[in-house]
């Protein structure tokens, strides 16, 4: 079980890393919000422990960014402030639970185990569409049982399609959700990536699944 700890206070992160390590977890640490988002985006974790007060990007902004990018790893917020607002906001934008500092270590471990159990049940559930299968934990995609080798961006685009089947996805929506950029002068890249994805997903199959919706964008659909 891999846990990402995003915490700028070295003493706290070392303490958590050592303690969770002794409990059998493998722990990676990021020291600011940007590094945390970067690691969560490029590696696979079973859980993220996110401090709220962080340099560069605070914990709430980091969680929102991850959820906007469709990264649904369970997040446990660590908050020093005993502020109800922080907790409510945190849960609102997609955190799964929170724990106020200072906390008892046994409590932290119990919460981690509970979230990982829950996460592997719903968040990590595989998604199926037509003969496609996507494993959001392993970041893998199969068509008709054949694994399709995707880059991380292609995978993110595929996951976005599979979480929103049968609805037109505009280039603006794709830009925002997969790249986290606004639409301006970004059309090209999206078309290029959709073509990469089509080559891998559809080219060798009679039934095409990624369709162009004229004047709108793209849609994952069967007919």
Q: Which is nearer to Ca ion, 62 or 194 (CB)?
A: 62
Q: How far is CA 124 from CA 66, 86, 169, in A?
A: 15, 26, 23
> In the bound complex, what is the minimum distance in angstroms from residue 9's beta carbon to Ca ion?
5
Q: Per CB under 5 A, does 8 bind Ca ion?
A: yes
- Angstrom distance (rounded) from CA 83 to CA 87: 7
Q: Which is nearer to Ca ion, 108 or 158 (CB)?
A: 108
Which residues is 4 bridged to in the sheet? 28, 48
User: Which part of the chain contacts Ca ion (CB under 5 A), choosing from 6-14, 62-70, 175-183, 194-202?
Assistant: 6-14
Q: Per CB under 5 A, does 172 bind Ca ion?
A: no
C-beta nearest to Ca ion: residue? 53
Side-chain-side CA neighbours of residue 81 (13 Å): 13
> In the bound complex, what is the minimum distance in angstroms from residue 30's beta carbon to Ca ion?
12
Q: Which is nearer to Ca ion, 61 or 127 (CB)?
A: 61
> In the bound complex, what is the minimum distance in angstroms from residue 113's beta carbon to Ca ion?
24
Q: Is 165 helix (H, G, I), strand (E, B) or coil?
A: coil
Q: What does the CA dihedral 215, 129, 173, 136 come to, rounded to 10 degrees?
A: -160
**Strands, E assignment, 31-124:** 47-51, 75-79, 97-100
> In the bound complex, what is the minimum distance in angstroms from residue 39's beta carbon to Ca ion?
17
Strands 146-148 and 140-143: antiparallel
Site for Ca ion in 28-57 (CB under 5 A): 51, 53
Q: Which is nearer to Ca ion, 46 or 51 (CB)?
A: 51
- Which residues in this chain contact Ca ion in the complex, by CB under 5 A? 8, 51, 53
């Amino acid at each position: 079980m891999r846990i990402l700890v995003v915490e700028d206070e070295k003493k706290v992160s070392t303490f958590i890393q050592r303690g969770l390590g002794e409990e059998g977890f493998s722990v990676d640490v990021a020291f600011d919000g940007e590094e945390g988002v970067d690691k969560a985006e490029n590696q696979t974790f079973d859980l993220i422990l996110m401090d709220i007060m962080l340099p560069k990007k605070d914990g709430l902004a980091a969680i929102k960014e991850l959820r906007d990018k469709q990264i649904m790893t369970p997040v446990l917020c660590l908050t020093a402030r005993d502020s109800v607002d922080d907790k409510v906001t945190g849960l609102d934008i997609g955190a799964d639970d929170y724990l106020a500092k200072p906390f008892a270590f046994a409590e932290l471990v119990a919460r981690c185990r509970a979230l990982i159990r829950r996460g592997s049940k719903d968040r990590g559930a595989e998604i199926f569409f037509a003969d496609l299968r996507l494993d959001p934990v392993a970041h893998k995609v199969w068509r008709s049982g054949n694994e399709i080798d995707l880059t991380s961006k292609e995978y993110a685009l595929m996951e976005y399609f599979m979480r929103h089947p049968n609805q037109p996805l505009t280039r603006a929506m794709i830009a925002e959700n997969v790249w986290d950029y606004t639409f301006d002068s970004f059309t090209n890249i999206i078309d290029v990536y959709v073509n990469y994805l089509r080559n891998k997903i559809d080219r060798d199959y009679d039934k095409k699944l990624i369709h162009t919706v004229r004047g709108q964008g793209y849609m994952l659909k069967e007919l």
